[in-house]
């Protein structure tokens, strides 16, 4: 429907959507190349969270020390270390040095999908529909407006 090429559509979906599963579902209909570039754009965006986290840590520590006059202790986000290690293992170790059979990779994929599904169900079971209606309408509206603006602005960037 959009007057852009499949690759531009892949870039647009990769930089405008929030969830990797959404990027995969949106990029797939445009073809394998569009899906690959969409996932690359999304993972590149995710990887840029690492320096952003360090910038925020520095800023929060500086701001806190200016207010209190003491050095603030900011907890280190250890998930970043795990993310970097798993990115390196998945990209270079398995891709270059270690040959993993398709059966093992399929098992890993099914296991991670099952674990993610359990986590999403666990989150969903703790949602109170009453609280959603009374407390979440304004954040939901703000999130919807932000998502639409991000989609429109990134479309014109691409």
Structure-token pair, residue 71? 């050095």
pTM exceeds 0.75 for this model: no
- Separation CA 51–CA 135 (nearest Å): 33
Least confident interval from 31-40, 65-74, 79-88, 97-106:
65-74
Residue 9: its pLDDT value, please?
Answer: 92
Residue % of the chain over a pLDDT of 70: 99
3-class secondary structure, 125: helix
Domain layout of the chain by residue ranges = 102-158
- Cα-Cα end-to-end distance for the chain: 16
Give the pLDDT band of residue 83 (cuts 50, 70, 90). Answer: confident
Residue % of the chain over a pLDDT of 90: 30
Residue 71: its pLDDT value, please?
Answer: 73
pLDDT in tens, 126-135: 877 787 778 8
DSSP 8-class letter at 132: H
- Separation CA 35–CA 25 (nearest Å): 9
Contacts of 18 (CB under 8 A, 6+ apart): 147
Contacts of 10 (CB under 8 A, 6+ apart): 27, 30, 33, 34, 35, 36, 37, 38, 41
pLDDT in tens, 14-47: 999 988 888 999 999 999 999 999 999 998 888 8
The overall average pLDDT reported for the chain is: 86
DSSP 8-class letter at 78: T
CA 65, chain centre distance (Å) = 31
Is the confidence at residue 123, as pLDDT, over 90? no
Residue 118: its pLDDT value, please?
Answer: 92
């Amino acid at each position: 429907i959009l007057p852009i090429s499949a690759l531009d559509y892949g870039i647009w979906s990769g930089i405008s959507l929030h969830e990797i599963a959404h990027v995969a579902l949106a990029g797939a209909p445009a073809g394998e190349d569009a899906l690959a570039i969409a996932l690359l754009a999304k993972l590149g965006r995710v990887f840029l969270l690492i320096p952003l986290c360090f910038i925020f840590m520095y800023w929060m520590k500086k701001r806190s020390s200016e207010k209190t006059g003491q050095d603030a202790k900011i907890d280190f986000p250890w998930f970043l270390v795990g993310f970097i290690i798993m990115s390196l293992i998945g990209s270079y170790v398995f891709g270059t040095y270690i040959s993993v059979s398709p059966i093992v990779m399929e098992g890993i994929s099914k296991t991670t999908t099952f674990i993610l599904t359990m986590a999403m169900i666990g989150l969903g079971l703790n949602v109170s529909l009453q609280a959603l209606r009374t407390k979440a309408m304004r954040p939901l509206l703000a999130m919807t407006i932000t998502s639409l603006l991000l989609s429109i602005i990134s479309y014109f960037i691409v």
